[in-house]
Structure formats: C-alpha cells, structure tokens
Amino acid sequence: MDEGLLARVRSRVDALADELVGVSRDIHGHPELGFEEHHAHEVLTAALERHGLDVTRGAYGLDTAFEATAGTEGPTVVVCCEYDALPGIGHACGHNVIAAAGLGAGLAAAAVADEAGGRVRVLGTPAEEGGGGKILMADEGAFEGVDAALMVHPAGRDLRWMDTLAATSFAATFSGLAAHAAAFPERGRNALDAAVLGYVNVAALRQHIATSDRVHGIFTDGGAKTNIVPERAEMDWMVRTARVEDLDALVARVHACLGAGAAAAGCTGEHRVTMRTYADMVDSTVLLDRFAAHAEALGRPLADPRITGTPVTGSTDMGNVSHLVPSIHPVLAVSPPDVSIHSAAFTGHAGGPAGDAAALDGARAMAATVVDVWSDPSLLEQARAALDDRTAA
C-alpha cells in the first residue's frame, strides 16, 4: 500500500466533510422513490461537477442515473451511490448515507487518480428498492471494463457483510365471479377466499423451507364492497433464497400454494413478475479484508456476523454486480443494534449524527481501498481468480 496516497485521500475526505454531511442531510430531507430521485440526482451530479469530474447525467438510459469519471489509465474501480427512499418512511434504509459515502470516496480517489495510475467511476444507481437500477445499468454496459465495485450499507452494527439473499417479486391475481352476497351467494365465486386460502397455504409452506429462505406477501386488492362477492383479488409476493440458483424452485412451490387456493375457491389465478431477479451477494474476501483494515483504523472493527450471531439480512441489486466483477457490500452502524432498518426509527438515525459519521467513515475506507487496488496489482488478480472459481462452481 502507498501510505502517502492513503494519507492524501483521508485528508481529502476530511476537507470535504461538511459538504458530504450537507449532501447526506439534503437527500435525507427530500426522500424520493425509485426512478423518481430527481433532487438527489441533481445534488450529487452538481457536487461531482463542482470538483471537476466528467459527469454524464441520465446515464445508461435511466433519467436518474449518472456516471462520473476520473483518471486516464490503469485499473477501473466503481463506487456505487444509492439514493432512493421507501414509501411512507423515507430514508429508512439509509441510502442518503450510501450516496454521501460514495460521493466522498469518488472525489477523494479522483484527487489522486492520475498520480496513482488508476481510474475511478462513480455510478449513481437508482431504484435499489425493487427497481433493479444496477441490473438495468449493467444491461447497458455500466460495468464493462470494471475491475472492482465498492459500496457500503448502513444498519445497526459494523459488519463485514450483509447476508444478502437472491430475490424476486410477483403479483398474484385471482379471478372469480361477482354476485349479491346476501341474495345469491351461491352464484358467486369468491376471489378473496382464493387469495386467503393461498396465503394460508404459503404460511404452512414456511415450516418446510430452508432457514435462510424467505417468503412474504401482502393483499393489495380484496374486493369492492362487502355485499358483493369479490370477483377479483390481488397480492404482492417476494420470494428469497440464499443462492440465486435455488430461487426458481421455491417460487414454483409458492405458485403451487396459491394455485391450490384458487382451485379450492373455484377461481382462477395468474402471476406477473414485478421485478428483475436480484442475485445473492458474492463478497470479495480479498477486497473486503482491505476495507476492513481501513475501517478498523478508523475505530470501526467489522464483525463477522457468523461469529457474533448478529446478521443483517436483505436483498440488493449489488448482488448482480458481484457476479460480474469483484465487489464488496460491508455494513456500517448508524443506529443502536436493536433498531431495524426499514423502520421509522432508523430513518431518524440515518439523518442524524451517527449517519453523518458513517457517511464520512465509509468514504474514507472506500477511498483507501481504491488506492490499495491501484497500488497493488496482486489484489485484483486474487479477487478475480476467487470470483472466477466461485462462478465456475
């Protein structure tokens, strides 16, 4: 590692600290849903342009995506920014922290890119919460020629990784026959009953799936009026497995449960996929070791969740990126351990002092990791070999 370059990127983040915290707070105060992140897009691209990076707005066919680059030769490292929020509870996943950390890491790395002989690409990746922005961008070439990809994620602990699951979502629609619920109930076929029976079947299925699997659903349409036998009902479902290779088999079992509910109620059912499949995350141990060393130097030793028994489980489109290039997705604490992400309480912490600190530490540790990649070619060789071995298995 080059201690001089490492000191310079840390110093650069320190100099940018007030601006980065301001960006995080600004995005936190203007929560936007996936593909609608116009304010965040403007705030981030304007900051990148102010500091001299070459910026492409509306990159890779997405209005709220962007790309900023620095450096002219050498290994290319991507730093990912996320900035979409959740309905009703705003930045309850702390994407404002991810955005500011990515911005800071990109700007700090850009300041030494030419001297270090490397290239950095800051990607603004919209709609992580189900929209699959990174997958859509990858389809358009955003990760072609990339040697490594980095991002951080906030939660309640400092962890080496998030336990990320492969995931897909679908809408299930049940069709029956309307009738007057009191005068002619025998002439009706109750689509809501079909959906309820399907839900119960899935609840029974949960006893007989792997402990790492997840199946969860909600009712989005249960009928129009109580005295009309519902002729239509609709549900949204998400299915998750530890490995993307196992996802289709579990989805088929869920479909069978819902189909049985439809048959029992004398109705029909159909399914419509509502998101691109998210793959499981393949964290690069080689790169993660370097990030963890820098985080520990900042007073954030990253725990192994298998040892501490404190995993954070979820799904992310960064998983798809990790099947393409060596990638990391470590977790930094912004709240007490007992506060769940995707909660109103977590929203408050993400926009508070702990969120500010995580954004700055994430920027410092990622920028230092970028410098390590540029300074030591063996890191990329090892990381690429490990990924090739994994994907070939």
Last residue of a domain, one of 219, 246, 273: 273
pLDDT in tens, 188-225: 999 999 999 999 999 999 999 999 999 999 999 999 99
User: Quick one: tokens of 254?
Assistant: 């869920």
390 falls in which pLDDT band (50, 70, 90)?
Answer: confident
The answer to whether residues 152 and 40 belong to one domain is yes
- In this prediction, residue 2 carries a pLDDT of 78
The answer to whether residues 185 and 317 belong to one domain is no
The answer to whether residues 122 and 21 belong to one domain is yes
- In this prediction, residue 214 carries a pLDDT of 97
Q: What is the dihedral of CA 362, 365, 366, 369, to 10 degrees?
A: -170
pLDDT in tens, 303-357: 999 998 889 999 999 999 999 999 999 999 999 999 999 999 999 999 999 999 9
Cβ distance 2 to 375 under 8 Å?
yes
Least confident of 119-128, 154-163, 233-242, 301-310: 301-310
pLDDT in tens, 217-257: 999 999 999 999 999 999 999 999 999 999 999 999 999 99
The answer to whether residues 139 and 178 belong to one domain is no
Rounded-to-integer distance, Cα 250 and Cα 232, Å: 25
- 36: CATH: 3.40.630.10
The answer to whether residues 141 and 174 belong to one domain is no
1 falls in which pLDDT band (50, 70, 90)?
Answer: low
CA angle at 54 for the pair 53 and 57, rounded to the nearest 5°: 115
- In this prediction, residue 92 carries a pLDDT of 98
Last residue of a domain, one of 246, 273, 300: 273
Q: Which domain holds residue 29?
A: 3-164+280-392
- In this prediction, residue 170 carries a pLDDT of 98
In the predicted model, what is the mean pLDDT of residues 148-165? 97
Q: What is the number of domains present in the chain?
A: 2
- In this prediction, residue 115 carries a pLDDT of 94
264 falls in which pLDDT band (50, 70, 90)?
Answer: very high
The answer to whether residues 222 and 160 belong to one domain is no
Is the pLDDT confidence value at 393 over 70?
no
The answer to whether residues 248 and 295 belong to one domain is no
Last residue of a domain, one of 215, 240, 273: 273
The answer to whether residues 7 and 118 belong to one domain is yes
The answer to whether residues 213 and 301 belong to one domain is no
Amino acid symbol at 149: A
The answer to whether residues 171 and 218 belong to one domain is yes
CA of 223: how far to CAs of 264, 273, 359, in Å? Answer: 18, 22, 45
- In this prediction, residue 392 carries a pLDDT of 66
187 CB neighbour count, 10 Å cutoff: 11
The answer to whether residues 150 and 200 belong to one domain is no
Strand pairing category for 119-124 and 148-150 = unpaired
- In this prediction, residue 131 carries a pLDDT of 97
- 204: CATH: 3.30.70.360
**Residue written as tokens 């965040």?**
40
The answer to whether residues 106 and 220 belong to one domain is no
